[in-house]
Structure 1
Amino acid sequence: MPDLPALLPGGIGVSRLCVYDTPGPDGLVGGTPHVHLCCTEAYVVTGGEGAVQTLTLSGHRETALHPGTVVWFTPGTVHRLINGGDLRIVVLMQNSGLPEAGDAVLTLPPEHLTDPAAYAAMADLPGAGAPGTDASAAYRRRDLAVAGFAALRAGGTPALRQFYAAAVALRRPLVGRWRERWATGARSAATRTGGQLDALARGDADHLSEAEVYAATEPAERGRLGMCGRLDTYPFG
């Protein structure tokens, strides 16, 4: 069997998530509310029960989660996972690598979004959240983001628009690096499909002779601290 390819289909990322099982400051058990600036995210629920709270300019919504549920949301959707009991999810993420490169922005109060250093002081985890890292810092940033999320809900459309503007200003310096990741990832995968369509239109079957089978039998890393819980990550993307 050949080495693993750099990309999953379409250049997506995949991970397994066990949602945090400790309560936030409002008493609800779950993860850290955040937004993605240019990535659509999907959940495939594999175990347990819970919900995902979402906030857009259309308002607040709560979607129930149970085994078999598939839910996805586009960039600009502030989301927070609520763990109703042993909630486990397979996460599919557009543009693999971009969330880890800064596409995800936590709903911290406005004073923490003023510059990258102020944001990093609250958002970055010791040891980058590696397995075995103490979770107390992850819970502290979760609790602060929950407070910010509550303020966004209470502030309505003006507050959410201000948060969007602050998030874009915070991450704008990173866009050049994100573009490089996208060009070698999702765009490269789409371009490859375009070439295959061209070949098929010519009656050319050469690319079919390059068929391979790949498998990742184990995660590359288990128990990494993420925004919403502990992640098992895979060695591609």
Structure 2
Amino acid sequence: MTAFEGLPGAVAVSRLRVYDWPAEDGLRGGTPHVHLTCSEAYVAVSGSGSVQTLTTSGFRQIPLAPGALVPFTPGTIHRLVNDGGLSIVVLMENSGLPEAGDAVLTFPPDTVADLGRYRAAAALPGDGTEDEQARAARTRRDLAVQGFLALRRATEAGDPGPLDAFHRAAAELVRPWTGDWRERRLRGAAAASEATGRQLDALARGDAGHLRDARVHAQQPSAHGRFGMCGRLDGYRG
């Protein structure tokens, strides 16, 4: 019986050391962004801070200390704030799609509305030096914080228009890749669910043969200290 050999349920994992660069509002932390098709969860490992969220229900700031778990669904704009040494484990739906395309940064409207301009603002120099990549990551973080603060002000003032407009622009940005994302889901979450279904069918027949095919997969991070949206990432193949 063929089993799914990715991470459980096709959930991917990474470890994140949150940026401690100060932003225009005096807070230190990562780049605000939203996922359009994937749920995500943060597990705080060390240090302290918070995650700021913005949805149509309003703004929240949720404290993060070791052991805290904060899951959120697609459409939740989120921003990590680092009060000191904040490190988290990130759990991501759909084989890590949140770090492989399903994220739109909260740049100002004129940037989000233009694919070319958005790509230029979001890109990091792949062959740049450590300092060049850090400067580019901080610049895009600052631009996204600018857009996020404007969205927050409008939402808290009772004006849903800017957030609705951001949602529409974000959906338009990712629309060309939805076919590829469907394939990722079929290879990952759907395949994992189907494997469980086959095992349940076998057990219902009294057949435990699939237990003979048990395997263990051990690995170390496949990427160390990569500049991510919210901090320095250690990633795993999933």
Report the TM range for the smaller structure's normalisation.
over 0.9
2:224 alignment partner in structure 1: 222
Show CA shifts across 1:28-71 (max 9, x none).
10000000001111111110000000001100000000001011
Preserved CA contact (<8 Å) 1:51 1:83: yes
Show CA shifts across 1:210-234 (max 9, x none).
0112211x21111000000000011
Does the residue aligned with 1:44 lie in a helix, a strand or coil?
strand
1:208 alignment partner in structure 2: 211
Preserved CA contact (<8 Å) 1:36 1:77: yes
After superposition, residues 1-237 of structure 1 pair within 5 angstroms as: 7-127=6-126, 134-156=133-155, 157-216=160-219, 218-234=220-236, 236-237=237-238
Does the residue aligned with 1:96 lie in a helix, a strand or coil?
helix
Q: What is the CA distance between 1:206 and its match in structure 2?
A: 1.2
Does the residue aligned with 1:10 lie in a helix, a strand or coil?
helix
Show CA shifts across 1:142-197 (max 9, x none).
00000000111112222111111110011111100111111101111011101111
Q: Identity over aligned residues, as a percent?
A: 60
Gaps of 5+ in 1: none
In structure 2, the CA distance between the partners of 1:136 and 1:22, relative to structure 1 (3 Å rule), is same
Q: How many residues align?
A: 231
After TM superposition, where is structure 1 displaced by more than 2 Å over at least 4 residues in a row?
A: 128-134
Gaps of 5+ in 2: none
In structure 2, the CA distance between the partners of 1:128 and 1:167, relative to structure 1 (3 Å rule), is farther
Does the residue aligned with 2:94 lie in a helix, a strand or coil?
coil
Q: 2:97, 2:129 → 1: CA distance?
A: 18
Q: What is the CA distance between 1:118 and its match in structure 2?
A: 1.4
- With the length of structure 1 as denominator, give the TM-score of the two structures: 0.93
Show CA shifts across 1:90-144 (max 9, x none).
1110112322332100000011112321110100111188977630000000000
Does the residue aligned with 1:32 lie in a helix, a strand or coil?
coil
In structure 2, the CA distance between the partners of 1:226 and 1:8, relative to structure 1 (3 Å rule), is same
Preserved CA contact (<8 Å) 1:129 1:225: no
Residues 131-140 or 174-183, more deviating: 131-140
Q: What amino acid maps onto 1:231 in structure 2? A: L
In structure 2, the CA distance between the partners of 1:14 and 1:132, relative to structure 1 (3 Å rule), is farther
- With the length of structure 2 as denominator, give the TM-score of the two structures: 0.93
Preserved CA contact (<8 Å) 2:31 2:229: yes
Preserved CA contact (<8 Å) 1:48 1:88: yes
Q: What amino acid maps onto 1:232 in structure 2? A: D
